[in-house]
Amino acid sequence: MTNKVKIAIFASGSGSNFAALEKACYVGGIPAEVVLLVTDRPDAFVTERAKQAGIPVAAFRPRDFDSKEMYEQAVLKRLQDVQAEWLILAGYMRLIGPVLLGAYPERIVNIHPSLLPSFPGKDAIGQAVAAGVKITGVTVHIVDEGMDTGPILAQCAVHVVEEDPDKTAAAIHKAEHELYAETLKNLFEK
């Protein structure tokens, strides 16, 4: 491997997936370098994680822009500035629009806390618990214009802890951290 792939990680929350991916890149588990954190919530804890890791942060509030297109154009400018080659969504709670999809065709990856196509969208863990399923899981997929509809790269199953969404969520997060790193490693080593 001559050069590491330059990735930008998109996140909206606490950033546990961001931290796991950044660490995996740092120790060589993923042949990539995190060149930017993009967040739509400047006050999210993930920004602190990025600063502690020495990763630049691009924090944009979508409401500060006249349109989604203008928001994504501002994000795209920052991505181009750092020469990001892939976009990695890690708890980013916005749908990616045409500007970024067009700039990064089949180079945007997302992780979702269910076995897609089951339980797409928000609160997939809560949806699984409410549905009474015994097995849910984690899916890594390429992002397209739909919500959690792109081509699946990898999946793993996780047992639902009945009536305990918190224990189920903890098991999901553990699986996410392992599956995402493994999937990105395989993707970037091709």
Residues serving a catalytic function are 112
**d(C-alpha 130, C-alpha 163), whole Å:** 8
57 phi, psi to nearest 5 deg:
-120, 130
Number of neighbours of residue 150 by Cβ within 10 angstroms: 21
Coil, helix or strand for 39?
strand
Long-range pairs for 139-142 at CB < 8 Å and ≥24 separation?
A: 139/111, 139/112, 139/114, 139/115, 140/109, 140/110, 140/111, 140/112, 140/179, 140/180, 140/183, 141/109, 141/110, 141/112, 141/116, 142/106, 142/108, 142/109, 142/110
